[in-house]
Structure 1
Amino acid sequence: MTGTIHLVKLCVGAEQVEDLIAWQESRRALREDGCPVHVTRMWPKREAELLAGGSLYWVFKGAILARQRVRALEERIGDDGIRRCAIVLDPELALTTSALRRPFQGWRYLTPADAPRDLPKQRKGDDSLPPELSAALADIGLR
């Protein structure tokens, strides 16, 4: 396959985008070059497509709100001897239009056609719709 694919992942432990930013700015989440890293158990089978311009889209409280470009995938062996995938992310985080997602474990692939648009850099967030309206729009494929 050719082209680009994205990942979508729940941002566990974060209530809002600012929580993710604070975590990634901590020394524990950074490589020496200042890039944040997210470690996961599974290695993406579509690695080439992901590294061809893909991003990791973050879900907060049931909605995609931000993304970061994936720079690299690195092998990490834990203290338990298990191989894991370290997803190296661009330090710049882009806010996106809100896109509802049901809970899931791990990560999922996201096609570019289904990915929410980036917000203009000067916007600090998406305008919120009432949850019922947002869910109805998502059910008919408009959000």
Structure 2
Amino acid sequence: MPLHLTKIAFGAKSYDQLAGWYEGRGDICLTTRNRPTRHEECVGGSLFWIINHAIVARSTILGFEKTDDGRWDIVLEPRLIRVHQVPKRAHQGWRYLTDEKAAKDVAEGEDIGDALPGKLAMKLERLGLV
């Protein structure tokens, strides 16, 4: 089973804004200074996007490529898949997710309803209410 990564969608305020980043683009590459240590295990896994303290979407990781300036491109499938929101704190660097802890995809035609904002969901989870 591949590993998954999490990443803050810096600058995005909503899922719709993140989806706008994907519109009309062919290849999606996320450039980073440091390649994740366990990058080989992540190929075939997903990059899960965090917005407002919640995982909201994912894209499949196709591979890692070194750039001319020494940085790394994480090559992503140019398709954004909405997932059921899972509370997740903001972080720096890479965090790995196993399949058991990864957010589940929203099924085609499924209505996700009004999801709780990430901060509120985290507080309710700490209190054992969700």
Same-fold call, TM cutoff 0.5: yes
Rounded Cα–Cα distance in structure 1 between residues aligned with 2:101 and 2:32 = 23
Determine the structure 1 residue equivalent to 2:45.
54
Segments of 5+ residues of structure 1 without an aligned counterpart are none
Query: CA RMSD of the aligned region, Å?
Result: 2.4
Equivalent pair of 1:63/1:98 in contact (CA under 8 Å): yes
The two structures have a TM-score, normalised by structure 1, of 0.78
User: Which deviates further from its counterpart, 17-26 or 38-47?
Assistant: 17-26
> How many pairs align?
130
Distance 2:93 2:108 in 1: 29
Deviation at 1:140, TM superposition (A): 7.1
Alpha-carbon contact 2:12-2:51 (below 8 Å) kept? yes
TM-score w.r.t. the length of structure 2 is 0.85
Pair 1:23–1:46, CA change in 2 (3 A): same
Give me the identity figure in percent: 36
1:35 aligned residue? 27
1:91 Cα deviation (Å)? Answer: 1.2
Inter-partner Cα distance in structure 1 for 2:111 and 2:71: 34
- Report the residue type matching 1:45 in the other structure: T
Deviation at 1:125, TM superposition (A): 4.5
Which 5+ residue runs of structure 2 have no aligned equivalent? none
